[in-house]
Amino acid sequence: MNLRKHRPLILSFLLAVLVAALLGSVIQTQFNLAALQAMGAPMPAEVRLRTTGQDLIGFTPAYAGIVCAAFLVALPVGAWLTRRLSRTLGPWVLALAAVAGVGIALQVTDAVAPMPTLIAATRSTAGTAAMLLGAAVGGLLFALLRLRRRERAA
């Protein structure tokens, strides 16, 4: 594999993973803090910001690993589908592929891990949906970066 030739593709992929993981981290923090607030915990903006920042450092690396594994399968499948179906729908197909990929990866992680649900925010449907929205943004970003690249090349 010619790394130099594929560098833009790899960079687009890594950027997509990073954005999905960072968004997922910020989202899961808000769900966890909401659960604490519902139990009566105070949540001033400063505490919310600090905790969100701590999770960006503490949670993102592991979650990025899950997203990366999911995207490695989902985005190529999405790109293949785009070529077969419709190029104009490409970004949305890739967004959907990213959602499906991360959704399945979360299920597999929970099936393998000893605890019922590894990521607390994904215990609820709303939390899972919000995390998957982050994955969708990652898929969309990947599609747009690739599209722009293709337009430049044309």
Partner 1 sequence: MKAGGIALLLLFAAGVAHASGYRIDTVTDQLRSPATLAFLPDGRLLVGERPGRLRVIDAQGRVQPQAISGLPDGGLDATSSLIDVVPDPDFAQTRRLFISHMQGTTKANFLRISTARLDGDRLVDLRTLFDAKPAKPGRSNFGGRLLFLPDRTLVFSVGDGFDAREQAQNLRSHLGKLLRLNRDGSVPADNPFVQHGDAAPEVYSVGHRNVQGLAYDEVNRRLYANDHGAKGGDEINLIQPGLNHGWPLVTFGVDYIGARVTPYTALPGLAPPLLHWTPSIAPSAIAVSRSARFPQWQGDLFNAALAGRGVYRVRLDGVREVQQEKLFGELDARIRDVKFGPDGLLYLLTDGAEARLLRVSPAP
Interface with partner 1 by CB under 8 A: which residues?
A: 25, 28-29, 32-33, 35-36, 38-42, 47, 50-51, 54-55, 58-59, 61-63, 113-121, 123
**Least distance from C-beta 98 to partner 1, angstroms?**
20
**Least distance from C-beta 36 to partner 1, angstroms?**
6
Closest CA to 63 of 134, 151, 142: 134
DSSP 123: G
Closest CA to 98 of 138, 48, 51: 138
57/154 with CB nearer partner 1: 57
53/76 with CB nearer partner 1: 53
CA distance 84 to 33: 43
**Least distance from C-beta 134 to partner 1, angstroms?**
14
Closest CA to 101 of 61, 60, 141, 66: 66
